[in-house]
Each structure stands twice: as C-alpha cells, then as structure tokens.
Amino acid sequence: MDKIGFDDMGLAFIANFNRQNLDVDTIAFIQDYDRPPSIPRFAVMQEKEAYNYSGILVATSFNSAQKLKYMRPAKKYFYLWSLEWVHDLYTVDELSDIYQNDEITLIVRSEQHQNLIKSIWDKDALIIEDFNYEKFIQL
Amino acid sequence: MNIVFSAANHHQIQPLAAAFVAAGDNVVIWNPHKKPINDMLDEAKPNLLFHPYVRKGYEMEVDYLKQHGCQSLFLTNDSCANIAQFWKGTPNTKYAADLLYISDIQVTQDIIKYLLECREGYKLRIIGQYPVSMPEYVGVPTIRNIADSIKSCNTILDYHGHWEAEAYRQGKGYYCAYPDVKKQPSTLTSFELAALYLNELNLPTTDYLFAKQKEIMS
C-alpha cells in the first residue's frame, strides 16, 4: 500500500482487517506513514520488507503494483480500488505491463469494474467489495 | 544542400530528416528555444528550413530567412507520411480492438462526443499523447506502440483525416468524423515526400532518393 490514511480506502481496510481474531496473519507493507483512522491491530512494515515476503501479496495502487512486479511472493494480486489509469498519465507500456501481466491477478470492487477490465484489458478479474475480509482469506 | 529542421521531436520531422541524410544532404536539427535564429543562420547557412507547424509570428521569420537566402517550407498534415508506416508494426493480441482512436490533437467536447457515439457495441481503444478522460484511454504510446496498435485493430477512427493514409496502407477499416475535409489517400513514404518538396522548388528530380529508399527498404 502507499499508505493507510484517513481516506475511503484506508477506512475500508481498517474496518475489515482491524478485527481482534484474524484467521490469517496480516501484514501491511506501506510506502509512506500517514495517520490511520484507528490504530492498526495487524503488523505494519516498511514497503522494502515486502521484497523478502514469500506469502500472498496484494497491491492496492498502481504505484505499488509496479513494485510488485519485481517481488517474489507465492501469489500476486492487484486490488483495483479505482481506475487509476483514467486519472493519471502513464505510457501504454507501463499500463500494459501491469494490467495485462500474466503473473498478477486483478481484483475489482464491482461487476461494473469487472466488465470494464474485461473490455479494456481483456482480462478476467475477481470481485471483492471494499476489502471484504471473508473473501480475502479465501484467496 | 544544407537543410534545417526546427523541432526535432515532431513525428514528421524524424523520417524526413533521415531521408535527406540518406540522400547525402547536410541536415541540422534546430531548437528555436535554445539557439537564436541569427546563430543558426551563421552556423548552418541553410538553403531550406522545414517548419512542423505554423506558429504565431511566422511571417516575420519567413521574410527574414528569405533575406538570408533560405526558403521556408511548412509541413502540413495533408501530406503527412505517417510515422507508423515507417515502422511497419506487428500484430499484438494485447492491443487487439475493434476500433482504434489515436489522440494526436487537443481533445475537445466534440471529440469526446464522437468517441462516445462510435464505441456503442464495439471494443474501443484510445492511445495518444493527448489524454482522453475515458477508461478506454490506455496511455501515451511510443511510435512502435502506434504501429503495433494499428496492425492489431480492425478499424481506425479518425477526426481530421490524419490516419487515412495508414488505414489505406494497412487495409484497415476507416471512419472519419470529417470525411469531406480531405483528399485522396496519400501513400507517400518519407522519401517520396522529400522528393515532392524538392520538386516543388524546381530542383532537379531526385531519382537518387528513390534508389536510396529501395536500397534501405530491401
């Protein structure tokens, strides 16, 4: 993650993952520190530690997905909180490298986004609404 | 002959400059923002100066150049040797689309409306240096991306007729917002375009340009 901040993504993440008895170990690898909505009850580490991580890694932004490309976890996922390529300027190769990467499985928040990803990037995406914890632990 | 091109990064300048270099002319790329016109005239002593587009105050510049023995030529999109044809391109399944729009002019409301109308029921892909606020816009392409995208699509959407020649050359469908604005499809290569400009100036026919083209393309 870029950060766990006081925004809609940070709120959803904390709400779902800040439960007392988490069934699986959760670690948030963050690039920048920001004031989270509440104190995280899971491990928070610097992003550079993720390069040694061998579990399941989920990127939550295009910036973190670009780094995910060079990491070696058991599985790679990219959780598309928003359609970032519409708002920021990237090159064709940069976007194609991530969204059409065979090693990275895309996860979206709605069926509408899923249809859009299929139409634009010709890729199937999983649907998990707003960091739903039960669905995440099934990955 | 001494030839000067202003604006090195314009997509029409590069193949044209390459054609003149291959033909043996002295070619200089001049950045008007970094070097004053007097310095350029002293150093390069040009016979011809190509401008990629008309800009404000160009009349004074053209007169000044004429006084110093340099003729000005303005490249227009009407005789554009599209850069994509220079690079051929290869089909790529990742770039496959029913409709391709290359955003090479400033995006306006009319263009957005045109694209929204065209995309109904089709897979639209938009690339280009001018971002379009639609999810189908997938980034700024390199020249090779453009060539590969054209090879991988079925139909090219156009707004001002810039890509008509390339659609014709690649055997792709073509749909233009303003079809009556233009012309017969131009299939000029860069070498042919260079020869055309030289012929316009009543210079000897440049057969050697065609011979050079044949040599390089074979």
| B135:A100 CB<8 A | no
Distance CA A28, CA B84 (A): 45
**Which tokens go with B73?**
């030529």
In this model, does residue B204 exceed pLDDT 50? no
pLDDT tens, position by position, B155-183: 888 877 777 767 776 778 878 776 544 44
| A94:B139 CB<8 A | yes
Name the residue among A72, A73, A18 with its Cα closest to residue A43: A18
pLDDT at B115: 87
The pLDDT confidence band at residue B77, using thresholds 50, 70 and 90, is very low
pLDDT tens, position by position, B135-160: 999 998 877 788 889 889 988 888 77
Residues of B in contact with A90 (CB under 8 A): 139-140
pLDDT at B215: 55
Strand partners, B176: B158
pLDDT at B187: 42
A-chain residue closest to B121, CA distance: A119
In this model, does residue B188 exceed pLDDT 50? no
pLDDT tens, position by position, B87-122: 567 889 999 999 999 887 788 888 888 888 888 888
**ipTM of the shown complex:** 0.80
| Segment-wise mean pLDDT, segments of 10 residues, chain A, 139 residues | 83 80 77 82 87 89 90 90 87 92 93 92 91 81
DSSP code string of B40-84: HHHHH--SEEEESS--TTHHHHHHHHHHTT-EEEE--GGG---HH
pLDDT at B185: 38
Residue with the bigger pLDDT between B91 and B216: it is: B91
Backbone torsions φ then ψ of B9, nearest 5 degrees: -90, 0
A90 CB within 8 Å of a chain B CB = yes
pLDDT at B194: 54
pLDDT at A121: 92
**Which tokens go with B77?**
């999109």
Strand partners, B128: B103
Question: Which site among A92, A95, A121 would you substitute to test the B interface, given the most B Cβ atoms closer than 10 Å to its Cβ?
Answer: A92
Please state the length of chain B.
218
